[in-house]
Structure 1
């Protein structure tokens, strides 16, 4: 495999190391000092001692030499130029939208927003949590349902999650039947089918315009408006469903709900959909924020992230993630959803779109789109063309017997994409970008007179929305760009993201997201392509995707890669469905046992259950490795029912397990498949290939190893790589045969054919600019950094797990359990005290309670690594003062951390330590100090008093 991945460009090349040297933080001299501190004279010797010889690859990466930033961007410009941006009036859940420039530049293109981490440490996440609470309020208000989450991956997967929620809420033990309106989005129907099959749920589609058919259903999915554009009264069907004990799910267009009666007023139990048309570009299908809102009584079963309001140590309102005990990382095989990341950055954009426009502005945008559609319908009727539906919002379905292809071709000549619906019908979808000249061009394409006159509203008065929405002051206070700019800055300043300091989260790989990688994402040639535009208009995208998939296959040693899964958890599901399909193709559908080590990520077990498998836990030994004796016992116990093992490598404990090849061999001998979770692939790239050392399938977190930014909890991309025998069972798509194996694929995993295609240029650019040598150097840098931190911290905090020669992989675990037992200072106290030092905490109490898992990544330079180590060592001295009695056991800087400016400025300072000790524990903080906006948050209070939408302003009065 050679330079086919990244074709050369004519521009001059800079030295290979130019970009890699910028991406990798420590210089060669700094790495030498770090290696000396670990006890090594060179990187190769450390790698030889850390990484088992049995997994090392025998061949270097077959990728072309690194491109400079200039050359990579020039090549991306070439690819972008091969896309053709037309005005897409296709619909199917995707609409043209205008991203307000103040949001584009200050959110989407701003590292203060896109490099933030999931808000598990809420005290340093108040800005993005407020933005997400705004999002929840928008969704709850518009859908007319009291509780919404923030957020889902897309509309199709949200509908699938709603199906599972409806089944749980029905309290039925048997799988049962889920009824779907035939006018639902076609991709949604197929995503629901894909998710239903392993759960044993039957999906039945029917025309529900005349009511429910006979039969027993636990749930019903309605589209509002329908894929055909039809707007129907939901209430009669919803009433029939409730009479039969079925839950009602409505997939609704948020913009339409500014004008139409909301689902919650029509009998819906659950509403799902996408916030894409609230200022988020097409991006060839993603990423976009899906949503879900639910009726009272089922909010504690709601999947995904839920932002709630609690109070801090001073009783002030503060935001945090609510009801976390229901999430997959805690519930594991008992989880009801495998969702891990959400689409936070996109949810923030959508919420700010609503904040900027307010209810009146949103209604005006909706009215304008509706008016354009009504003008098209009126013009068609005047010209003798039948308009199928008399009631619609923004989509007109026209019947033109035998002429659909002709009309679509005529529109394309005029720069417009329309949607054929068979040979006799054409759909025309209007949106925020539809102008009078588009109306004229559409009418010309149908061959009718182009005179445009006023058109009446095209839905019944009974369906007109009367209830208010977005009444909270936040949706009325930021109309000018100045006000909006300052609001965004105020929220950003409350948070810690990578633009402020390192985020040393173990297992989460918060590395540099280089500007050159990010820049192409907002180019119109990538941002403005509809996912169902004619494929010849997306040739640049298809070439980029093919090159990226090929590069990832080369890096991992697999035969084929699919980029469709739009999160790591969805990649897990896709990989397990591929294994399931493979066993079924061999007549071994009875294989349903999935072995999972006790140390695994919580999503592993949840994904296995979603894939219809039974989870059997394999013990770990005292060194954190898979217990081979227990593994063999479990294999013997489950015999020919073994489907797979899911194992993370390097392990979740941060070590290279010596026995991984033995694990793979044992599972294969029993007829099972090996799934290697690629969460920690950044410790393998260039050194080892999972597809070579025994794995059959892996998902790869592009938002970790390959530099797509975390965005505060998403976007993510979780493609899967498979060996040749599993390739026929990769995801496919009903509307894009090019997106996967059409006949044998497992169905769509996400609503869009290539998932979050809009951010794939980031990983393409990273691989192209690093080149084979740079990619390997990055892996070595991550291993050097982790071992340097372990060496510096070990005299102060025990390092829980090490591998061969006392070394770790790309992360290390500091064990505070003995310290806690002796002093009462917990790992959480240390995490909160790190905020006073200006740091985001490491991963808290995972995979072992009472510990901190620390990962430096290759991007942090030695000065920042030392600054973090100095902070941790200073905190250890503070802990010792507690142990020695110098600090009160209950009233000390650790127990009271973090300290806000307001708490220090009070006249009533009663603590036994000084204000200076609280705020400036090290002198460097006087030069640059992060001030947390709230003190430690009371999580339990917020769960007992659940508030998940914007609280009234008086809640913040002193």
Structure 2
């Protein structure tokens, strides 16, 4: 017995030691406590309101038992912010920062520190949402208007959009637009000049295939137009740096009715004749070198400019000028492009986002430098390139026959090429092997005279040179041939000529930031958009040089850190979703949809079932779903929803059976677009599989699944993941985004290719026969922002991620409960619960008081809130998604605002307030409207401006009143010139 007591005491002592050791070794500050808004007391309070004792009880009620995970996710233990940053820094240090003279549309550049600190690293810019509520997004919209103006003036065309994803996909969008514009309907071929960037050609191949577009890839100089073409793509300057006079080719193409696109380097256009002046119908390109880091491929803003006549066909979004209720100039997204995907299967593009944050940076780069500064940068690069070329020629190397801007094509012979590349690598320099025996060297804004000398030394194979820089400069001519010399002005608007000092730009940026409501102001409760915390620790690595300064086509041996990051993130996402393979390449949700459907199509074709092209899509689906299906060469068949908002399984069964022979896929969102966990999801997936189809799951609502269930486990074959939603990449005011896809094992062979050797080694057979090809221009999409999601998962761990999901569902149910007495909750699950979002029905208010959903959206601005998702997926409703990051006080503030608004509506209904002159119809109230002039409204100034107690503590003022969208659409003006004209009016 004494021995047993000793053993027991010893065990207890060991347990105490272990317990104390755990306490000592565990982080003192858990990141999940920072990320998840409600504390344990607030969680208990909300559960009590809902009638549940624990979070698990709520999960059991809200999430169908049949799909619940049986064991926790197998993920690494959560790390503190400090530890995760240290580990990621160690991984990043494995990347080698070489000076890359590879070019191909990607260049090292200088991000002005005032722009880096005040835009790229500023949550006031990167946490904002897409500017659908324009009255509280005037800063972003003005910055984008500057960007559009810059692009219009540099390209010599008449209208530009607010950016696209990258140069390759912008060129593909131009192909699709040209296909629709061409009046010669017999033409089914698209000409691509072989001098285009190879990654652009690869993306166009991917996009052309499902549409049965014939591609003609050839040298434009020898194309005799024996095949009728609907469009053509030319590179300016060409990928090898050469400048070609395209006028004759363009004239001939136009004679055939073809639409011509020129992919142009915007910096070169400071010196060169712009595409619009030599006949181009469309111009595309990348604005990366306007202050945006390389980031191993992204994110970067692509530009798209065209003629005024094509303004109704342009893809993406356009910022246009209109006026507000007081007649002041105001900006908003132009109607015809605000949501092209409302056209659903009739859409010509599935793009529903832009690269706003990056476009803002590029536009502000233009504002900061102005026309003179941009021209000076371009001239310096060109002069250094000419000096480099002359020196190489002196060293007996063959140089371009054609004129060039920043890229020298050097003939060295096959053996010498390998020796030169090796010698360059020893000096931490990357050169491009263009073709056998030929190298290309592209200079950039960071290049110095010393760099030019070092390049000469590499080619001379010795440090002693037979000439000096001074001698070379005396022998060169820096002028372009007369045709190529730009004579027209650009960047003439005052905004590009008054912010050239840091003080001026700093104040301008601050003024614009203050016009926008972002997550640093209040919650943004947008359904389906998951506006959660973008933590500072997650954002910091984005601007580390180890991630930011790598060229996307640098040798893999230099990018070991990135490869580790990719591998770990793929493993984690695979574990979270249950999928066997992950592709990180799609750089937007729309790209993920397209990639997933292409994988499914390729799978069917590999089995000889090319007929399987029917895509079933619920009527409630997001508009990008049918648009993506059509772009993938599929035919859309709509599936009904029942009265509860679920997929009508009987109708699904009927249509799956009807189209069984040709059924390709079902596109389904889960939890449903209506914000509930459908009980029949397993049966839905089984129906599709039984009839030979594949299940594509839209991952927009993955924030309700992480740690609770996995799409691959309950039947999905493919799923795209919005990393800018569930996994904390910020929305950036409308971009960047990331939409990687997960697939089951049988679909892995068809994932997008990431073999970069096919771009950098012309002898490499980089194409994988079964792959769908390239989806984006860079092999891993917007690589640099993947670090954000890595940090989020690393700091949250399995428990933190699962808790976040539970609290997201708790917050949504709490808000639904608080608002249910005032606004009907449109859809609920079988247990009476919603998922992570809910739809509140505002349609009765129109009958009661003539109040529209937009009136409530605008009135919320007076309370300091961004409206939830308006009129989608049901017209006249709002979809509310609080996320897990908002604490109870913020949830209650929003609910209190909505309840106060309800009482304002009630006052209209009972005749207390004028139905046409009231706080809702006049919202939002600007400071100018409230303070200046006589007040002749039948409610007080205080009621207008300070409708809730918290607004007196901190007031966010909309800077414009309600915007007249119809006026702007009737008078479409999309450049700074419009703002000036309206101000004069």
Structure 1 residues 256 and 741: alpha-carbon distance in aligned structure 2, compared to 1, 3 A threshold? closer
Distance 1:398 1:716 in 2: 38
Distance 2:187 2:72 in 1: 49
Distance 1:167 1:666 in 2: 36
Q: How does 1:476-495 map to 2 (within 5 A)?
A: 476-495=497-516
| 1:210 Cα offset (Å) | 4.5
Match of 1:183 among 170, 186, 195: 195
Cα offsets for 1:195-227 (capped at 9, x unmatched): 000011011111113554422100010000000
Structure 1 residues 533 and 310: alpha-carbon distance in aligned structure 2, compared to 1, 3 A threshold? same
| 1:324 Cα offset (Å) | 3.9
Residue 4 of structure 1 corresponds to: none
SS class of match (1:615): strand
| 1:124 Cα offset (Å) | 0.2
Tell me whether 1:114 sits opposite 2:140 in the alignment: no
Tell me whether 1:439 sits opposite 2:452 in the alignment: yes
Residue 410 of structure 1 corresponds to: 423
Cα offsets for 1:608-634 (capped at 9, x unmatched): 001000000000000000001110111
Residue 210 of structure 2 corresponds to: 198
Structure 1 residues 325 and 362: alpha-carbon distance in aligned structure 2, compared to 1, 3 A threshold? closer
SS class of match (1:691): coil
SS class of match (1:309): strand
Contact 2:587–2:740 (8 Å) recurs in 1: yes
Tell me whether 1:882 sits opposite 2:913 in the alignment: no
Contact 1:98–1:279 (8 Å) recurs in 2: yes
Residue 7 of structure 1 corresponds to: none
| 1:389 Cα offset (Å) | 3.1
Cα offsets for 1:686-714 (capped at 9, x unmatched): 00000010000000000000000000011
Gaps of 5+ in 1: 1-10
Answer with 312-321 or 738-747: which moved more: 738-747
Tell me whether 1:366 sits opposite 2:378 in the alignment: yes
Match of 1:855 among 869, 877, 881: 881
Residue 107 of structure 2 corresponds to: 95
Residue 688 of structure 2 corresponds to: 667
| 1:743 Cα offset (Å) | 3.1
Tell me whether 1:927 sits opposite 2:953 in the alignment: yes
Residue 422 of structure 1 corresponds to: 435
Cα offsets for 1:823-871 (capped at 9, x unmatched): 1011110000000000000000000000010000000011111110110
Distance 1:316 1:213 in 2: 52
Distance 2:686 2:284 in 1: 44
Residue 793 of structure 1 corresponds to: 819
The RMSD of aligned alpha carbons is 1.5
Contact 2:187–2:228 (8 Å) recurs in 1: no
Match of 1:451 among 463, 468, 471: 468
Distance 1:566 1:907 in 2: 50
Q: How does 1:390-789 map to 2 (within 5 A)?
A: 390-402=402-414, 403-447=416-460, 449=465, 451-452=468-469, 453-454=472-473, 455-457=476-478, 459-733=480-754, 735-736=756-757, 742-789=768-815
Distance 2:34 2:384 in 1: 50
Contact 2:585–2:778 (8 Å) recurs in 1: yes
Contact 2:30–2:79 (8 Å) recurs in 1: no
Gaps of 5+ in 2: 1-22, 761-765
| 1:762 Cα offset (Å) | 0.2
Answer with 476-485 or 819-828: which moved more: 819-828
Residue 166 of structure 1 corresponds to: 178
Answer with 381-390 or 787-796: which moved more: 381-390
Cα offsets for 1:733-788 (capped at 9, x unmatched): 46347999833210000000000001000000000000000000000010000000
| 1:683 Cα offset (Å) | 0.2
Distance 2:101 2:477 in 1: 21
Match of 2:394 among 372, 376, 382: 382
TM-score (norm 1): 0.97
Larger radius of gyration: 2
Structure 1 residues 67 and 736: alpha-carbon distance in aligned structure 2, compared to 1, 3 A threshold? farther
Cα offsets for 1:371-407 (capped at 9, x unmatched): 1110111001111110033300000000011211111
Cα offsets for 1:391-449 (capped at 9, x unmatched): 00000000011211111111122221111123301100001011011101111111173
Q: How many residues align?
A: 948
Structure 1 residues 342 and 359: alpha-carbon distance in aligned structure 2, compared to 1, 3 A threshold? same
Cα offsets for 1:26-45 (capped at 9, x unmatched): 00110110111111111000
Cα offsets for 1:896-938 (capped at 9, x unmatched): 0000011112323221111111011112211100110000001
Cα offsets for 1:271-313 (capped at 9, x unmatched): 0000000000000000000010001211110000110000100
Match of 2:27 among 15, 31, 45: 15
Residue 5 of structure 1 corresponds to: none
Contact 1:591–1:641 (8 Å) recurs in 2: yes
| 1:17 Cα offset (Å) | 6.9
Residue 8 of structure 2 corresponds to: none
Residue 6 of structure 1 corresponds to: none
Contact 1:391–1:458 (8 Å) recurs in 2: no
Match of 1:901 among 927, 938, 944: 927
Contact 1:13–1:67 (8 Å) recurs in 2: no
Tell me whether 1:258 sits opposite 2:270 in the alignment: yes
